[in-house]
Chains A and B, each alone.
Chain A
Amino acid sequence: QVQLVESGGGVVQPGRSLRLSCAASGFIFSNYVMHWVRLAPDKGLEWVALLSKDGSEKYFVDSVKGRFTISRDNSKNTLYLQMSSLRAEDTAVYYCARDFGSHGALDIWGQGTMVTVSS
């Protein structure tokens, strides 16, 4: 079935790095724009980043620019989020999501992976 599965979350100290992965199955991964979205404790959803189908176009929310990078390996059907210089405010559940129409319609979501930034 169509599915996204995130992994790589955990507890990390401020200033350190972490890489999240999102494994896709059940659909042609390379045909879709992909996004990362996060939900911090007691906060609302926050869009984090998107990556075009071929990986050539990337966009980020201002708060992570210069610290996070997004990439994909279409041969492995996997999306990545490399997070560096992590801050306490990056603590959140991180979701990857498929954009089925390339207009921000996120129709398939993973279960999420928790990232906790704490000393």
Chain B
Amino acid sequence: QSVLTQPPSVSAAPGQKVTISCSGSSSNIGRNYVSWYQQLPGTAPKLLIYENDKRPSGIPDRFSGSKSDTSATLGITGLQTGDEADYYCETWDSSLSAYVFGTGTKVTVL
């Protein structure tokens, strides 16, 4: 079981907004950068957010990231059917001396 907890699933209608939480602790999110990934079925993960709130080039501003204390949040606005995927947070855990991924969240567009 991961040290980073995410809701198993979130859903919303097209055009709406969803947020995905990632809850950790002082040894991981509380002191290290958080990244977020999207994984479409059968494909490799794709980096959406790095260093808590930065977007790589080519990632639309519909995707946003934030961090507060020991939690991080990914927001997706203007939800599209192509956003249906699994989403993961990730960070370094200073106590484990290892990177950790969150438990993953499946986004469904209703």
User: Chain A: residues with CB nearer than 8 A to chain B?
Assistant: 35, 37, 39, 44-47, 50, 59-62, 95, 97, 100-101, 103-107, 109-112
**Interface class of chain B by DSSP:** strand
Given contact pairs A44-B86, A60-B98, A105-B56, enumerate 6 new A-B contacts (beta carbons under 8 Å).
Answer: A45-B45, A45-B104, A104-B50, A105-B33, A107-B50, A112-B44
**Smallest CB gap from A4: residue in B:** B44
Inter-subunit contact A103/B39 (CB<8 Å): no
**Smallest CB gap from B36: residue in A:** A105
Inter-subunit contact B100/A106 (CB<8 Å): no
Considering the complex, which residues of chain B in the window 2-60 have a beta carbon less than 8 Å from any beta carbon of chain A? 2, 32-33, 35, 37, 39, 44-47, 50-51, 56
User: Which 8 pairs across A and B sit closest by C-beta, in order of nearness?
Assistant: A105-B50, A44-B104, A109-B44, A47-B99, A45-B101, A103-B33, A107-B47, A105-B35
Chain A residues in 8 Å Cβ range of B47? 105-107
Bound-state Cα–Cα, A46 to B101, Å:
6
Bound-state Cα–Cα, A111 to B43, Å:
7
